[in-house]
Structure 1
Amino acid sequence: MPCTLPAMPRTSAAARPSAHDAALAQRIGERIREARRRGGLTQQQLAGDRYTKAYVSALETGIARPSMVALTYLSQRLGLPPSHFLDEPHPAWSRLEVDMHLAAGEWQAAADGYRTLLQDQLDEPGRAELLRGLAESEARMDHGREAIAAASEAARIFGALQRPADEALSRYWLAYGLYESDNEADARSLLTALLERVRGGLAVEPDFELRLLMALAAVESRSGEHARSLSYLEAARGMAADLDDRRRATFLFSLAVSYRETGDLEAAIRSGTQGLALYRASGADLESAGIENDLALAYLAAGSVERAREMAGQAREQSERLGDDRLLSAILETEAQIALAAGDREAAPA
C-alpha cells in the first residue's frame, strides 16, 4: 500500500558567536545608547510594550545582539533607519539575517543567502558553518544531492578543526541527504556510527540521541525493516516526553507508521490520532495531511472503509491547497486502494 513516510527528524545548531560578532554587537549597542540619550528616552521607554528594560540594557552594553525584528522596532521608536546602527552591509550581519531565514522556515531564502556568503568567506571555521547551514536548507527542501555536497565538505572541515560536535551535526545532514537520495544503506551506516559516538560520551545537543533514533527508525521503515524501526522508536519513547508539540507529533507519526507496518493497527490509530492533534495545534498543515493519509491506511487495514475515506479526503484537500504534488500522489494512491476495498472499481486505477 502507498505510504508517506515521515521525514527524518531535523535539527539545527545556532551559529557560534565569534569575536567579530561581539565587536559588532558592541558597536550597535553604543549607537542605540547614543540615539536613546539624544532622544531623551529612558531604557524602559525605548523598550515600549514589546521588550524589557533589561533587554535594552543588554543591547546597549553589547551583551546581546538584536535581531532584525528588534532593531527595526527600536529604530522606529528612535526615529532612525536600522542602517544607522550598522556599518555598511556587513558579512556578520548578513549571516544573522540568513540564519533568521533558516529559523523561520524560509528554506530557499536561507540557501540563497548561505551561497552568497560562501562566495566571500575564506576562513575555514566560518566556511564550515555556512556549509552546514546550506546543507540543512537543502535537506529541508528535499534536495538530497545538494545537501550531501555541502554537508560532506562541512564535516571534513570540522573534522580537521577537531570540532567533533559540529562534525557530528554535519554528518547528520549528510545522512539526511543520503536518505533523500534513496541511499538508505549509507544513511544507516552514518547514523549508526553517530549513535555509537553519542552513547560513548560525545555531547552534541540535548536531544541529539533522540533524533538519531528517530532518523534510524525512518531509514529502517523505508527499507521495509518495520520491526527494527519500531525497536528504535520504543528506545526513544522515554526521551520524547519533553519535546515541543511539533517534534512530539513527528515522533508519534513515525511510531504510527511502524505500528501499522507491523500490524498493530489499534496502536497505529492511537498514535496517529495523537500526532495529528499536535500537528494541527501547531499549525503544521503539510505534516497534518501526511499523518491523515497514514491514518487512512490504518483505518483501511482495520476494515473501516468510510473512516479511511474521510481521512484521505481531508488529506487530499490539504495537499491540494498547499500544492504539494508528491504528497498528493501518495494520497491519490491511498484513495484508489480505498475505492478498490469498497468495490468501486471505476474510481480505482486500472
Structure 2
Amino acid sequence: MDEQEAGIGRRVQRLRKQLGMTQRQLAEPSYTPAYISIVESGRVRPSEAALRFLAGRLNTSVEELTTGRPARLATELRLALTDAQRELATGSAVDAAGAFERVAADAARLDLGPEQAEAALGLGDCALETGDLDRALAQFEEAERLLADAPLPRRARAVRGRAVAHLLTGELRYACYLLESAIEELSTSGLADPEALVLLYAAVIGPYIDMGAHARAAHAAELALSLAPRVSDPALVAGMHRQVARTFLAEGRIADADASLAKAQAIYRQLRLGTDLAHCHWMRGYVHAQGGELALAETELRTARDMLSARRAELFTAQVEVELADVLRRMGRYDQAAEVAGTLLRLDDRHGAVHAGGAHRLLGLISEERGETEAAEEHYVKALALLERSGASGDLADLCRLLGDLLRRAGRVEAAMDAYRTGLGYRATPGTTTLGPPPAAPPRPEE
C-alpha cells in the first residue's frame, strides 16, 4: 500500500466522519459507496477529478486531502511573509528578521519549499542591512538550494544577494563572476525574463564601476533602461535608476545622474522604502560632491547616514561615512573629517576592510595636508594592506600614487619608485573618487 494513498484515505475517512456523512452520502451523485470504501482503505489513489469532487463535498481543499496541510496555512504564511517584507522595507531589519525566522520555521515544519525560500531571501536581505555578511551568504545559499529545481528567473534574487554580499566583503571579481554567469545563462537559455535581467544588470553596475569597467557598466545600464518598460515592480525600476546614475557619473554626466536619482527617489518615497531612499540621498550627495557643491553634498550625506544608522545598517552607514569624511576634508574641516573617518577603523578586516581602507586613505590625506608625513605614510600603508585582496585595482593604484608622491617629496626616491611600479601593476590613473579611481580596463573576472 502506497503511503500517500493511505494518507489520502485516512483524511477522507476522518473528514467524512467529522461531518457525520455515510459513504453513500459522500459518494453521491458521481461515485459509489464501494469506491469511497476503496479510497478510504488506501487501495487506490483518487484521480484529480475525484479529488476535486471529494474536496468539495468535504469542505476542504485538494491540497489538504493530498498533503494533510490545510490550505489556509499556506495562505497565512504568505501573509506573514508580506508583513515581514513590509517591516524590512519600512521598519527595523532586526524585527523583520524575527518575522522571517518564524515563517521559515513554520514553512519547514509544513514542508512548504517556496515559502521557505522566500523566508531565506528575506533573512539574507536583513543580514545585508545589518552587516552580518556571513549569515547573508548562508541564507542566500539556502534559498538557492531550496530553489535548485526552479527556473533561473526564480533564483535571480538569490544570485544577486550572494553577489552583493561578496561585493560588500570587497570580493569584486567574484561578485561580477556570479552576476555575469547568471546573465549569460538567462540570455542563452530562452529564459530572458525582463525583471530578472533588470535585477542582475542593475546589480552588476556597481562592481563594474568599482573595477573601472566603465564600458561594461554603461552597457549594462543601457540594457537595464531598455528593459525597464517591461518591468511591473516599481521598486525594481527605482533600483535600476539608482544604479544607472552611477554610469552617468562615470561619464561626467552630472545632470543626467541627478535626474535618474530623482526618479528613483520619488518612487522610494512613494513606496516608503527607507533604506533605498537613504541610498538615493547618498548618491545625490556623491553627485553634488563631484560637481563641487560641497555644502549640498554634506547635507545629503548626513541625511543618508542618519537614515541608515537609525536602521542599524552598519556597512551601508560606513560607506556613506567614507564619502562624508572626504567632503569634510575637502571643505577644510579636518578635525571633523578625522573624527568621522576614525570611527570606521573599528570595522573588522573581513566585513569592513574596504571601508576601513578608505578611512585610512582619508586620514593619510588629512595627515599629509597637515604636514604630518610619518602619520600619512602609516595610514597609506595600512590602507594598501586592507585593500589588496578586494580587486579594487583603481583604489590600490591611487594609494600607490599617493604613497609614491609622499615618499618622493621626502627625498626617498627609491622607495617612491617602488610604490609607483606597484601602482602601475594595477593599471589605473589618478581620479577623484573617495577611495581612488578604478582601472580603465580590468581583466575579466576569474572563475
TM-score, scaled relative to structure 2: 0.55
- The equivalent residue for 1:56 is 108
109-118 vs 155-164, which moves further: 155-164
User: Structure 1 residue 217 and structure 2 residue 285: aligned?
Assistant: yes
Q: Identify the match of residue 206 of structure 2 among 106, 126, 139.
A: 139
Q: Identify the match of residue 102 of structure 1 among 163, 170, 181.
A: 163
- The equivalent residue for 1:165 is 235
- The equivalent residue for 1:113 is 182
- The equivalent residue for 1:176 is 246
Select the structure of larger CA radius of gyration. Answer: 2
Q: Identify the match of residue 276 of structure 1 among 324, 339, 345.
A: 345
Q: Deviations over 1:110-145 (max 9, x none)?
A: 22112211334567xx32332331231243232343
Once residues 251 and 156 of structure 1 are traced to their aligned partners in structure 2, the CA distance between those partners, rounded to angstroms, is 30
Once residues 71 and 137 of structure 1 are traced to their aligned partners in structure 2, the CA distance between those partners, rounded to angstroms, is 17
The structure, 1 or 2, with the larger RCO (C-alpha pairs under 8 Å, 6+ apart) is 1
Change (3 A) 1:325 1:53: closer
Change (3 A) 1:194 1:250: same
Change (3 A) 1:348 1:115: same
Judge conservation of contact 1:135–1:148 (CA < 8 Å) in 2: no
Once residues 389 and 306 of structure 2 are traced to their aligned partners in structure 1, the CA distance between those partners, rounded to angstroms, is 36
Question: Following superposition of structure 1 onto structure 2, how do residues 119-268 of structure 1 map, counting pairs within 5 Å?
Answer: 119-121=188-190, 126-142=193-209, 143-159=213-229, 163-195=233-265, 197-198=266-267, 201-203=269-271, 205-242=273-310, 243-268=312-337
User: Structure 1 residue 299 and structure 2 residue 351: aligned?
Assistant: no
Structure 1 position 330, deviation (Å): 1.0
Change (3 A) 1:275 1:321: same
Change (3 A) 1:54 1:141: same
Change (3 A) 1:96 1:129: closer
Once residues 216 and 180 of structure 2 are traced to their aligned partners in structure 1, the CA distance between those partners, rounded to angstroms, is 10
Structure 1 position 158, deviation (Å): 3.7
User: Structure 1 residue 333 and structure 2 residue 397: aligned?
Assistant: no
- The equivalent residue for 1:45 is none
- The equivalent residue for 2:14 is none
Judge conservation of contact 1:241–1:248 (CA < 8 Å) in 2: yes
Q: Deviations over 1:238-290 (max 9, x none)?
A: 31323322111112111110100000000111100112323x36623233222
TM-score, scaled relative to structure 1: 0.68
Judge conservation of contact 2:380–2:403 (CA < 8 Å) in 1: yes
Change (3 A) 1:86 1:129: closer
Once residues 245 and 316 of structure 1 are traced to their aligned partners in structure 2, the CA distance between those partners, rounded to angstroms, is 23
Once residues 318 and 257 of structure 1 are traced to their aligned partners in structure 2, the CA distance between those partners, rounded to angstroms, is 18
The aligned amino acid for 2:386 is Q
State the secondary structure of the residue aligned to 2:381. Answer: helix
Once residues 162 and 141 of structure 2 are traced to their aligned partners in structure 1, the CA distance between those partners, rounded to angstroms, is 16
Once residues 276 and 286 of structure 1 are traced to their aligned partners in structure 2, the CA distance between those partners, rounded to angstroms, is 11
- The equivalent residue for 2:128 is none
Gaps of 5+ in 2: 1-62, 68-102, 121-136, 167-174, 421-447
Identical columns (%): 18
Once residues 226 and 188 of structure 1 are traced to their aligned partners in structure 2, the CA distance between those partners, rounded to angstroms, is 15
CA RMSD of aligned residues (A): 3.6
Judge conservation of contact 1:340–1:348 (CA < 8 Å) in 2: yes
Structure 1 position 340, deviation (Å): 5.4
User: Structure 1 residue 287 and structure 2 residue 355: aligned?
Assistant: yes
Gaps of 5+ in 1: 1-25, 31-50, 74-81
Change (3 A) 1:64 1:340: same
Once residues 181 and 224 of structure 1 are traced to their aligned partners in structure 2, the CA distance between those partners, rounded to angstroms, is 16
Once residues 158 and 321 of structure 1 are traced to their aligned partners in structure 2, the CA distance between those partners, rounded to angstroms, is 35
Once residues 182 and 173 of structure 1 are traced to their aligned partners in structure 2, the CA distance between those partners, rounded to angstroms, is 15
What is the count of residue pairs matched by the alignment?
Answer: 287
Once residues 93 and 128 of structure 1 are traced to their aligned partners in structure 2, the CA distance between those partners, rounded to angstroms, is 10
